[in-house]
Structure 1
């Protein structure tokens, strides 16, 4: 049921988007408190650091997670847009509250199995939140910023930035925990990429009677350039604009939402792109 829900593209409807954020965030809470934390296995990014502080101090993991995420969410507000960050704040709030309320209890006794399954659940939750046009905060926000500026897969970025968490785990606990943390983070990154980004490029062709409005809206909210062509309806003979752009797969739900906001009746053709030559990123203004 969850996979069917994911494949349906949960970012297209506001209500479904919030359901996706809630569902993904709660899955992460379950992964943390029932699989990872009981075995001293850390998650990725700031969540992992929150776990460490929660384990070695009287502070609750959920409270620490909220405090650590606030600065990054403020930075992301300027670089990723109001809607994305508001969704991220919503996710961080649910995760923090869930970590505070759900008791830490080991479902499985085997630490390796818990690391793998906990990592998979975390990746599933993060992927659902991403597809709902949000993030779980922390390094996810950094990953989204870098992925928009540089052409890298988000899962690989998150795994690369988490080396510090693995080292912390080894020195504070033991190196068995560090290796289990490595396994968990690796599985999380793979599941995120499988659910959310195959790192493919997509060509979007938009046929609309509101060409200039669509152009302005996309250029304001999307980190890509686009080309506008003049078109004529074959049946109606009415003039239309054809807008063409190439995006990464992770931007698809956002673009679909932006198109619908301007012209719900626009005809949109989405095709996979084998290769892109030339300038893929929109040039910075001089």
Structure 2
């Protein structure tokens, strides 16, 4: 291993450790002591903790270990060292932190939900970006998906709904269940924000008779590339030129200003794209 590779891997593990601490703080200092059952394996471990006092971290490691072994047997998965590291360290930190915070750091249940799920989601997002994983219900969903023709997204949602609903068995309180669903929603949003963040990219299609002038201004004023496509109007049968532009969402306003200045009658569509790979954007990831 070269020095450069070693430094890169060391930074990656430091980032993973930091992210795991952030995620654990959200669960152990806010969500769990507030009596909220969140989604995922950590939420399931929390249910066992509320029912029988079992250690959240130990239960989390045990369930994930069983799922990993089952996935290897049924799906032939090869789990990376980083994922194993995250699963074990997350469980250890959960055990330590839950004993350190017998009560939430805020007396307001809604604030505990908001702060806890934001921290947990932010930590999870950083873990994903850094190439790690804490295991969880995605393994269950993939196993079920192998034998049943149900989409992974729907299976993950059903798993989380089932786990959060167990909060009613523990507390017999529908409000706790609703706090669990709020936790799931904020957690997912925080993960998406960390993963996409300022990298959120949009794709514009511009139809205008002044396409050449618009494309020249986009290239010269924004230093962005621009592709000219051939199009045909289905109703009129007329040939048209269509401009395709890829841009960061935060800079799309500049493009609209250029278009409006040159051709206020231009037809423009803008859509969010989940990934753009190539020169000037992300590298292709496998």
Q: Which residue of 2 aligns with 1:192?
A: 191
Q: Does 1:110 align with 2:105?
A: no
Q: State the 1:105 CA deviation.
A: 3.0
Residue matched to 1:52: 47
CA-to-aligned-CA distance 1:209-258 (integer Å, 9 cap, x gap): xxxxxxxxxxxxxxxxxxxxxxxxxxxxxxxxxxxxxx9649x8xxxxxx
Change (3 A) 1:191 1:160: farther
- 2:242 corresponding residue in structure 1: none
The secondary structure found in structure 1 opposite 2:279 is strand
TM-superposed CA distance for 1:64, in Å, is 0.5
User: In the TM superposition, what are the counterparts of 1:17-166 in structure 2 within 5 Å?
Assistant: 17-75=12-70, 81-83=78-80, 86-102=81-97, 103=100, 104-141=102-139, 158-166=156-164
Query: Do the aligned partners of 1:80 and 1:145 also contact (CA within 8 Å) in 2?
Result: no
**Distance verdict in 2 for CA 1:95–1:187, change over 3 Å:** same
Residues 58-85 of structure 1 show CA distances to partners (whole Å, capped at 9, x for unaligned) of 32111101101012223555655442xx
RMSD between aligned residues: 3.7
CA offset digits 1:125-175 (Å, max 9, x no partner) = 11011111111111244578999xx9x997x87555310022111232111
Gaps of 5+ in 2: 1-6, 203-272
Are the structure 2 counterparts of residues 248 and 89 from structure 1 closer, same or farther at C-alpha, using a change threshold of 3 Å? farther
Distance 1:180 1:144, change over 3 A: same
Contact (CA 8 Å) 1:25, 1:95: kept in 2 or not?
A: yes
Instruction: Name which one, 1 or 2, has greater alpha-carbon Rg.
Output: 2
In 2, Cα distance between the equivalents of 1:122 and 1:17?
Answer: 19
User: Residue in 1 aligned with 2:176?
Assistant: 177
TM-score normalized by the length of structure 2? 0.59
Aligned mates of 2:201, 2:71 — CA distance in 1: 24
8 Å CA contact 2:34, 2:103 repeated in 1: no
Secondary structure of the residue aligned to 1:167 is: helix
Quick one: distance in 1 between partners of 2:20 and 2:120? 9
Distance in 1, matches of 2:275 and 2:78, equals: 18
Unaligned runs of 5+ residues in structure 1 are 1-11, 203-246, 253-267, 273-281
Q: Segments of 4+ in structure 1 off by > 4 A? A: 75-80, 140-147, 156-160, 197-202, 247-250
Number of matched pairs:
196
Normalised by the size of structure 1, how large is the TM-score?
0.59
For residues 196 and 75 of structure 1, the distance between their equivalents in structure 2, rounded to whole angstroms, comes to 29
Distance 1:182 1:200 in 2: 26
Query: Contact 2:142 / 2:152 at 8 angstroms: preserved in 1?
Result: no
Are the aligned partners of 2:137 and 2:159 in contact in 1 as well (CA < 8 Å)? Answer: yes
CA contact (8 A) 1:21 1:128 kept: yes
What does residue 234 of structure 1 align with? Answer: none
Where does residue 206 of structure 2 map in the other structure? none
